[in-house]
Amino acid sequence: METQKKNRIDVNATTSDKTGVSGFVEAFVRKFRTFGFIFVLVPIALLYVLCIGLSLTPGISLVQMVWEWTSESSFFVKCFSLGLSLAMAFIAYGISLIFVVPLVNKLLPFKVKPIRASWFSLEVIPWYYHNALVYLVRYSFLSFVTPSPLNKLFYQMMGMKIGKGSMINTTNISDPCMIEIGDYVTVGGSATLMAHYGQKGMLVIDKLVIKDKATIGLKSSLFGDVIVGEGVLVKAHEAVMPKARLTKDDSAPKKAA
């Protein structure tokens, strides 16, 4: 009972148990929640500017060259050439972003770890940054290359373990660095995979493991602290709640009485 009390988290705390600069920052965030929250997350906007700027550079270079090459051409040729170059610039931006974002994520000084903490804790910050970078790619380009080797490569570079022969037909993935997918796994369209869940003012991050030859149905949802066993079928639209441990028997069709 005493151990449970020690492990109990006060989600309304305005102070911190940490010392030094970490304790000061965490106490500031907890005391001035809205302002503190914005203060901690402002660097994400700077990372966005960096990632987008770097990824746009190849495409802008192409547009600039085409503009100069067609400066003396007819109006139609100039417009058509500019249109083609803008289209190619968008493709170049998306592909560049798929490689730039994982590089920036790799260079971050902190990494996502399994935690159970208040939303207003320093341990939560790596999770925000990691997913913010994932969402930048997801909502700007990733849907255009899903499913393909490119979307699998992106998730692998973001830390997801993906076995051979697996197919991922969804972009609804959070916390890829905390997700493990075995060999010959099929993840259906619009399925949601996330290695976290929130409850009672806390964020819980734990691994999501999908073992060999499992099938994740269309629009199903899987959360953190879940293990999907070998060969398991998660049916379409099904929600697999935290702490679930699925075996083949769980997905087998029930016989009529």
- CATH code of the domain in which 152 resides: 2.160.10.10
pLDDT tens-digit series, residues 8-26: 777 667 667 777 877 777 7
pLDDT tens-digit series, residues 125-156: 899 999 999 999 999 999 999 899 999 999 99
184, 166 in Cβ contact below 8 A? yes
Number of structural domains the chain divides into: 2
Closest CA to 17 of 111, 118, 113: 118
My answer on whether 74 and 174 are in the same domain is: no
pLDDT tens-digit series, residues 74-112: 889 999 999 999 999 999 999 999 999 999 999 998 899
Q: Write down which residue in 94, 112, 145 finishes a domain.
A: 145
Residue 1 domain-assigned? no
My answer on whether 136 and 223 are in the same domain is: no
Residue 3 domain-assigned? no
* Phi, psi (degrees; rounded to nearest 5) at 203: -110, 130
Residue 127 one-letter amino acid? W
Distance CA 130, CA 125 (A): 9
- Residue 187, SS3 per DSSP: strand
My answer on whether 162 and 254 are in the same domain is: yes
Residue 195 domain-assigned? yes
Radius of gyration of the chain (CA): 22
My answer on whether 101 and 202 are in the same domain is: no
242, 198 in Cβ contact below 8 A? no
| 19-23, 120-124, 128-132, 183-187: range with lowest mean pLDDT | 19-23
Q: What's the token pair of residue 254?
A: 């029930």
Residue 59 domain-assigned? yes
231, 212 in Cβ contact below 8 A? yes
My answer on whether 134 and 24 are in the same domain is: yes
- Residue 253, SS3 per DSSP: coil
My answer on whether 62 and 175 are in the same domain is: no
My answer on whether 174 and 233 are in the same domain is: yes
185, 216 in Cβ contact below 8 A? yes
pTM of the entire predicted model: 0.86
Residue 73 domain boundaries: 8-145
Give, as one character, the DSSP assignment of residue 200.
T
192, 210 in Cβ contact below 8 A? no
Give, as one character, the DSSP assignment of residue 204.
E
Q: What's the token pair of residue 95?
A: 């592909």
